[in-house]
Amino acid sequence: MSAFKKQQGGKYPVEPVKNGKPEYILRLFVSGILQNSVNAIKNINQICEQYLKGNYKLEIIDIYQQPDLAVSEQIIVIPVMIIKHPLPERRIIGDLSDVEKVLEILNCK
């Protein structure tokens, strides 16, 4: 996990939105000690930079640092990404290595 610096409260940095309100609002719940979580962080960052072109807000939440958020979102498996916007809300479970599937669920293919 040393490649990803945490902000206070167990959150990882949120990607800046270049043009006003983001079209995509994503929350990735991870456990900092698991390899699948590290892979999910790497994969979603690459997907966002390549396909969403700065039109997104990504919040990465370590469930051990913020268990209350995991409870409020009813997280029972990690890693899991919640697509908050555009609606309807959707979830993707796993390390996000299947780029085609992630793009299909994001509706940006």
The pLDDT tens digits of the residues spanning 57-85 come to 999 999 999 999 999 999 999 999 999 99
Query: What is the pLDDT averaged over residues 30-42?
Result: 93
- The mean predicted confidence, pLDDT, of the chain is 83
- Statement: residue 53 has pLDDT above 80: yes
SS3 94: coil
Domains within the chain, CATH numbers bracketed = 21-106 (3.40.30.10)
Instruction: With beta carbons less than 8 A apart as the criterion, state whether 95 and 40 touch.
Output: yes
Determine the angle formed by the axes of helices 35-47 and 99-106, rounding to 10 degrees. Answer: 60
Query: What is the pLDDT averaged over residues 35-61?
Result: 93
Query: Structure pTM?
Result: 0.78
